[in-house]
Structure 1
Amino acid sequence: METKRVDLIREELLRLEEKLLTPEIRTSVKELSLLLAEEFFEYGSSGKVWRIKDGIGSNGIGVVKMQLSDFEIHPLSENIVLATYKIFNEEKEQHSLRSSIWKYEDLKWRMVFHQGTPIV
């Protein structure tokens, strides 16, 4: 994959990951359904597994106060990218490693998988 395209994808996925941390998106079932693929599932830093097919609550997925850093992408194919980064949860005062798999289809990126692993 050419460097310029990788840079553009990195910018877009960073924007989407940061968007997923905002209260406006996290509390909107409509907005979440635009960013998360139908087959989305997550291995949370809590150890819980969550699937979108289990449903998004009426209040979305909850408000968090987190800072994202060290964002990188790792293209797996032309339309699938692994994003990795660190998160600092300001409320729990906890750092975690994060990874997300994004798929590009129908002219947009949607997250299909996410994992959070606490840094001890």
Structure 2
Amino acid sequence: MGMELQAHLFALEQELQGYATRSDAERLGHLLADDFVEFGASGTVWGSKAEVIAGLQDEVFSPRRMSGFTVKMLSRGVALVTYRGHRQGVGDSLRSSVWREEHGQWRMVFHQGTPAH
């Protein structure tokens, strides 16, 4: 796996954490796979892409940043991304995402956040 892919997935993760993307249902629709599922740090399970997009529209936004970003290829066109998330006013969480390449575009299939101490 090249540094280019790692930089690309970092940029996509970063974009998903930004206010502009989180409030843009069309862009979220491109970045999230149709079979996307999320296990939130709060214990909430988001079972459908539509549910996630609707939830993000109502979110009270707070800035986030990442550290310890790593990418591990699971198979051709499937990557596991892990990092520590830092959310202002909320605290830290361990984050993992599975990204899948679909027709030349990387889309997130799964995401999990676990509170970190």
Q: Is TM > 0.5 for Structure 1 vs Structure 2?
A: yes
Structure 1 unaligned residues grouped into runs of 5+? none
Question: Which letter maps to 1:73?
Answer: V
User: How far, CA to CA, are the matches of 2:44 and 2:52 in structure 1?
Assistant: 15
For residues 6-60 of structure 1, give each alpha carbon's deviation from its aligned partner in whole angstroms, at most 9, with x where no partner exists.
Answer: 3111010000000111100000100100100000010000000002143622863
Q: What is the match of residue 20 of structure 1?
A: 16
Moved over 3 A (4+): none
Distance, in Å, in 1 between the alignment partners of 2:49 and 2:64 is 22
Instruction: Determine which of 95, 104, 108 is the counterpart of 2:105.
Output: 108
The alignment's C-alpha RMSD in Å is: 1.6
Contact 1:87 1:95 in 2 (8 A): yes
User: Mapping of 1:1-120 within 5 angstroms?
Assistant: 5-50=1-46, 51-54=48-51, 56-57=53-54, 60=57, 62=59, 63-92=61-90, 94-120=91-117
Give aligned pairs, total: 115
CA contact (8 A) 1:45 1:118 kept: yes
Mind listing any 5+ residue stretches in structure 2 that lack a counterpart? none
Q: TM-score, normalised by structure 1?
A: 0.88
